[in-house]
Structure 1
Amino acid sequence: MKKILVMAALAICSFANAQKGTILVGGSIGYSSETRTLGNNEVKNNEFDFSPKVGYQFHDNWTVGGEASFGSSKTKQGTNEDKFNTTKLGAFLRYTMPLNPTFSFFAELGLGYQSEKDKTYAGPITTTAEGDGMYVGVTPALFINMKKGFGLNFNIGGLSYGTINYENNGPEYKNFDFNFGRTFNIGVSKNF
């Protein structure tokens, strides 16, 4: 539970409600580490994710920009090791609705390209699987203006769909995720 709280504390940093003509810079960073015993073997897992965003508020309520995400995980069990890397590059469109000078609600639509690479070391045998596809997602959130453009962002999940097609006649994955209430993210933001 502590690891989840630490990851949540580090994880989300997004944009704030801004004025027309402003540049928004933000993103998220997350890290988790876990060690457990499975039978007589110790299993170690480390995960890291970095997701920057840059946007331009072209209207008092509308922001458009680019987003990216770079993630990696490594799982080691005995002499076996699995390295998994993900990359996402895309765009987002955000609509912000001020509720009062302190609170604003926003909904963000993001879409773009994604890729995955999975490299497995099982003794002397190494296998690699690579795939790419697309993603689209909608995330609602609440912004709380703390002072001079600094604020906190809260969201409790969203709606997403993604595909990954692996090379060399590999498998094709389609994922639909409706996770309202299953995740909780807190962010810090600044308007420029």
Structure 2
Amino acid sequence: MTPPFPDQPPAVREKLVAFAALLRRWNARINLVSPADLPVLEQRHVADCLQLVPLLPPDAATLTDMGSGAGFPGLILAIATGLPATLIESDQRKASFLREAARTCGASVSVLPQRLEEARPPPAPVVTARALAPLGRLLGWAEPLLAPGGICLFLKGRQAGDELTAAAAEWHMAATRIPSRTSADGVILRLSDIRRATSDAGPRRS
């Protein structure tokens, strides 16, 4: 049988296997992923997140993950790359899992158990999210978290095109759509040069 994550270095592969085992144990107590996904956890969730690794800027020193949940994609990226990551997750039980998973896997992670509207970590060059909210809302959350010149990497589904169209009413951005290798309907959005469309017209009037 082919070992999981064959394209990863042995040390990373060992940590990812440990992460998956820990998640399965915790999932009996708190709902981290659907029970139906447990048999395909490595492919459906972990490998899906690993697609972002080659899309990270080579000079990125850190990243911030919004709505981390069970660690997708932020914790997986921290494990795979060694980058320090800030994981924002308002659910206290999931935040506890993230801390334990980071400790188990030796990942450099800071967990903020706060709502995205309230969290204010230092701006990061990369902001990520997976299956969290429509694009326009994601950009509103990401704007104060993103360093100047930074990028967003969002794992999206079949509605990605419609979300880009809807978000264009409020946001300007350079968008690249990358087909997912793990889901026929999946798309990775790489967004840069992000700014609010209203900035073109000057400050808003109250």
Q: Same fold (TM over 0.5)?
A: no
TM-score relative to the length of structure 2: 0.23
Q: Which has the larger radius of gyration?
A: 1
Structure whose residues are more often strand by fraction = 1
Structure that is richer in helix per residue: 2
Q: Which has the bigger relative contact order, CA under 8 A and spacing at least 6?
A: 1
